[in-house]
Every structure is written in C-alpha cells, then in structure tokens.
Structure 1
Amino acid sequence: MPPGPRAVLVDDHEIVLEGLERALVREGIPVLASFRDAESAQEFLRGSEVELCVVDLRLGAESGTDLVRAIRSLRPQTRVAVLTSFEDRAAVAAAVDAGATGYFLKDASSGELCEGLRRVAGGQLVIDARLVSAVLGDRPRPLTESDVAILRLVAEGLSNREIGARLHLSPHTVKEYLSRTMRKLGTRTRAETAARAAQEGLLPPVL
C-alpha cells in the first residue's frame, strides 16, 4: 500500500481523537497532530505542510465550518474532510461553501473512512451516500467571493492555470471551485456557468 497523506485531526472529544488516530495509522495514514480546538489547529497549520485535515463539524462552542474555511485560506493545497452525524445535514451544506471536499458520517467503518480520506487527499470529492442530498441538494446557494472572482476570469476566457496564477491558486483548486459552482447553478460547462451567473444577477458586471 502506498504511503498515505499526512493528516491533522480536529475533534473536541479526546476519546474520539484517539480512536480516529489509531484507525488512520493502522490503515497507513500518518497523523502529524491532533487537536481539540480550532485555534490550536490553525496555529499548527501556519507552520506545517499537511495534505489532509479531518474536522468534526461540532467543536463545542466553536464552528467546524469556520475552521474549514480558515484551513482553506491558510493552506489552499490542503484537502479538508468533515465528520458529522446524520442530524447535521444543514452544517454539511454549509461546509460545502466553506470548501470541504470529503463528507463522512461518524458511523462509517474505519476501512471505508480511510479509503475515502485517501481519495479526498488525492483531489476527489467523496460523499457518504447518506449525505448526498445535503451536499448536492437542489436549493440555490449564493456564490462566494472566490466563486465570483473565478467566474469573472472564466468569462474573460482564461484557462484554469491562468486563473490560478492570477489568484494564487493551483489549477486543481480552480477546477474544484468551478465544479462546486456548477453544482450550485445546475450547469455543465464553464461558459454556461458564467452566463447563468450573470443572467441571474449572481455575477456582478465588470466595471
């Protein structure tokens, strides 16, 4: 088995952290650090290269979604997977907009979870089948500032690589943003997505 992605775990329950770390290490995914609060995790990430973060959406008084957003801002190359319970479907939908690309229920088997985490670290979107409706639901969601910035450059005819260079993102990250925006708008192509956003007033006019 190839070496797994270097991971950081965040959960406010110590016993959950210990069990999760044992499961990942057993499956060949090295755990660099585990944290029980968002602030400590962010401080670690400021000085460390990490391929994968696994975040519990319920972090006591803190917001797991806010942490996902902070991680994506601090480390755009780091993939973020969230762990949740079935009752947290609204929080999962929020995590989509925050930039997570892995969505797993806490009752998943360790084998399923670790296989999914490897795929997330490799750049894939992985969703527990029971959460698909929450993640890819039909309800409209507003575009983020990053979505709009990327769509403006798409409308100018720039490639993913050119957009990434302009916005200091990797081409793969640009592709992920575009894929997420297409899901929001129900479109299939880059041109259709930019046109739909402009038509619905979601893409401000270029001044």
Structure 2
Amino acid sequence: MRAVLIDDHQLVLEGLGRVLQRQGMQVVGTFLDSAEACRFLRQSPVDFVVVDLRLGEMSGLQAVREVRSLLPRSRIAVLTSYDDPAAASEAVRAGATGFLLKTTLSSELGRQLREVADGNLVVDARVASAVFEPRRLLGDSELKTLALVAAGLTNREIGARLHLSHHTIKDHLTKAMRKLGTSTRAETVAKAVQQGLLERA
C-alpha cells in the first residue's frame, strides 16, 4: 500500500514514516506543504494519505477536501495534537476516514492507522462522541456483551449465552473499552449506562 504524509514538522514526518513502514506500508512521499503534496498526488495517486490538521497556507481540512477530490477512493487520516470534537466532526464531513491524535502511543497509533488504511472509519475515543451518535458508537455484539457484563456474567457465561467463545467476548469488551476510552469492565459498564447505551441492548 502506497502512502503520502503531510505535516509541517520534519520530525513528525520521519517518526510517522517509521510507524507506517512497521505496518507494511510504502511511504512514497513526505511533504511539509499540502499544496506541494496535492501537486504530487495529481501525478502519482496513492492509497493512503495522512495529513496534519494545522498546516501553512492550506489548512488540513482544505487538504482533506482536495485529496478527496483528487483521489475519491483513497483513505485519509487526519493526525493532530488537538483533541477537538468539533474538528473531528468537520474532518469526517470533509472526507477523512480517520481522526487520530499525536499523543497516542506509537504502537496504538500504528494499529489505528492500519485500520484506516484497511478501509475502516477510526476516530479517537476522546473525540468520537462528536462524530458518532451514542447508539452508533458500539456495535450490536459489543452492546449485547456489555449488557450481560452489567448483569454480572463472566466472559465464559456470556460466551455460552451468546454461543460465542470467551476469546470473542474478550475481543468485544476490548473494542468497547477502546471506543469508550475506558480501561476496566466496571468503568466501561458505568460509562455505557451513563450514556444510555444499554437501554435497548
């Protein structure tokens, strides 16, 4: 998979390039300037573009719109230091398929970037509420699993009830924790209840 990186800091470009290479991607261009990147993309289409939200003469959102116009089938991840929910929502509306934060650990960021490159919509949990309605944030399987966790069942008991392996149940819980920005079963259930996610699960 061919990728282009756009950020106005050279050190970020170098570090991000290493992250993508560890994910098996080929970085074919790095650019400090989005206008220059767009000129390159007109001549050399790629599969995946990672762009900073705050750039020079062309904003990151303008760059997203331009790239989306040039490459309708490409995956575009916005990578920023700003955990601004409004910006996340605007970026997705502009055509981004990912909104990720630079403060994320490199191993987790690599996984998130790989998910975006594979065609998934990935929005950091810290800003996801602005992009997804609460009921859409978690999938049906994750909601059913959380409802049974709230009822006091163990992973094995939940697996037996849903006819799934306990490993699959653990995976559903891990995904729910990531999406809700929590780290324990109790915290995840509490947040899901607080947001009204389990009312119809």
TM category (shorter chain) comes to 0.5 to 0.7
Per-residue CA shift, 1:121-172, capped at 9, x if unaligned? 221111111111232368xxxxxxxxxxxxxxxxxxxxxxxxxxxxxxxxxx
1:32 and 1:134 mapped to 2: Cα distance? 33
1:50 aligns with 2:46: yes
Contact 1:86/1:131 (<8 A) preserved: no
2:45 and 2:56 mapped to 1: Cα distance? 26
SS at match of 1:130: coil
Residues 16-165 of structure 1: pairs in structure 2 closer than 5 A: 16-136=12-132
SS at match of 1:42: helix
2:109 and 2:9 mapped to 1: Cα distance? 18
Contact 1:27/1:111 (<8 A) preserved: no
Residue range with higher mean Cα deviation, 98-107 or 79-88: 79-88
Q: What RMSD, in angstroms, separates the aligned Cα atoms of the two structures?
A: 1.7
Cα displacement (A) at 1:6: 1.5
Contact 2:35/2:58 (<8 A) preserved: no
Residue range with higher mean Cα deviation, 90-99 or 71-80: 90-99
Cα displacement (A) at 1:22: 1.9
Q: Which amino acid aligns with 2:64?
A: V
Contact 2:4/2:29 (<8 A) preserved: yes
1:126 and 1:97 mapped to 2: Cα distance? 13
2:146 aligns with: none
2:85 and 2:76 mapped to 1: Cα distance? 17
Cα displacement (A) at 1:24: 1.7
2:73 and 2:44 mapped to 1: Cα distance? 12
1:187 aligns with: none
SS at match of 2:46: coil
1:101 and 1:85 mapped to 2: Cα distance? 17
In percent, how many aligned pairs have the same letter? 55
Cα displacement (A) at 1:109: 1.8
1:86 and 1:42 mapped to 2: Cα distance? 23
Q: Which amino acid aligns with 1:22?
A: R
Contact 2:85/2:128 (<8 A) preserved: no
1:86 and 1:59 mapped to 2: Cα distance? 13
Cα displacement (A) at 1:115: 1.7
Per-residue CA shift, 1:165-205, capped at 9, x if unaligned? xxxxxxxxxxxxxxxxxxxxxxxxxxxxxxxxxxxxxxxxx
Cα displacement (A) at 1:94: 1.3
1:126 and 1:86 mapped to 2: Cα distance? 16
Q: Rg: which structure is higher?
A: 2
| Number of equivalenced pairs | 134
SS at match of 2:72: coil
Contact 2:6/2:33 (<8 A) preserved: yes
Q: Which amino acid aligns with 1:19?
A: G
Identify unmatched segments of 5+ residues in structure 2: 135-201
1:21 and 1:73 mapped to 2: Cα distance? 24
